[in-house]
Homo-oligomer: A and B are copies of this chain.
Amino acid sequence: MNEFGTKYRVGIFGSSHGPCVGAKAEGCPAGSKISEAIIQAELDRRSPGKGAHTTPRAERDRLEVISGIVEGKATGATIVGLVRNKDFDSSVYDSFKRVPRPGHADYPAMVKYKGHHDHRGGGQFSGRMTAGLVIAGAIARQVLDKQGVRFLAQSIQIGSVRMEKVVPFSIAEKVARANAVGCADRDTAECMKDEIVRAHEDKDSVGGIVKCTILGVPAGVGEPFFGSIESDVSAMMFSIPGVKGVEFGSGFAAASMKGSEHNDPYTIRGGKVVTKTNNAGGVLGGLATGMPIEFKVAFKPTSSISRPQMSVDVVKKVPVELEVKGRHDPCIVPRAVPVVENCAASVILDLMLQGGFL
């Protein structure tokens, strides 16, 4: 079932080359102040066109809210928001009907939908669908902002360039939002841009890692086992196209650590129970500890590259050399930053509503 959440329930609809892409969200508490300008601003962050490193396709995503918000407030009814599609040329996709693009959903989608899916521009599997994720998340975020919950995603790796510095939340927030790659350090950001430009010149693409930090989630949020924070966040993150890995706190590095090193000792700070370290990434037993929730999301390099690639004609069952023309980002990570951030908000709102925290 292509929906997410129990109390804040999100679904996305549309396709890359159909009339629109959008989201519906149920469960936003009636009376919540929801600014459409803020949703629009998050959509703008996701938009391309800020430099050589993003797709030149002139997407202009104007938010249209057709249900659930009246005079800047949620009415309690289902919220539906969308952006119309324009400026696309579907003809370039006709050849992919029989010849699947490597790295894309083309082949399994052909099989699953027996050829009936909308194949144009990736159709219902397009990265453009993340506009819907952003709409739903930007609504959740505004509800959570009132509760003191803050979200920050940042690029910590693009290709071979890694962000090595640790930057405090408030500075990271300012810097990461101010540069085109979403990195919390200006110098590293420049290197990341160069990495992307190089990939573009090579007719190639690069991947990267986005780190997300969430402040202000009260201890006890989350459900045990199948409803753990990690389960829900990872399920949401893996629904973003191109994601190959998700880890919390110490993540894969935990495998090489000792228990005495990994366990976060408790202490009292300002009258509150906190941990001295945060290897847990803010989650124990699936529940928030009250410490910052921290996770990392690995993105693969963009599948669409201008170099010729080997594929097959699935009907004739013969090899075919294929060229993916169109216009594509050599790296999706910069645009994924706001997607990760807003997606996280949808999950946390759902869990906080489930747990009766608002």
Contacts and interface: CB of A to CB of B under 8 A. Distances in A.
A107 B247 CA distance: 22
Interface residues of A, number: 148
A264 interface: yes
B75 A209 contact: no
A239 to B, nearest CB: 4
Contacts of A121: none
A280 B245 CA distance: 11
A337 to B, nearest CB: 14
A18 B300 contact: no
Identical copies in the complex = 4
Nearest to A158: B255
A200 B286 CA distance: 26
A12 interface: yes
A70 B118 contact: yes
Given A78-B13, A112-B76, A257-B301, A129 B24 contact: no
A289 B100 CA distance: 11
Contacts of A279: 300
B305 A19 contact: no
A56 interface: no
A37 interface: no
Contacts of A66: 13-14, 18-20, 22, 82
A54 to B, nearest CB: 15
Contact of A209 (B207, B221, B252): B252
Interface stretch (A40-48, A140-148, A176-184, A313-321): A313-321
Given A74-B116, A77-B118, 7 more contacts: A2-B223, A13-B67, A77-B124, A104-B285, A129-B225, A157-B255, A265-B310
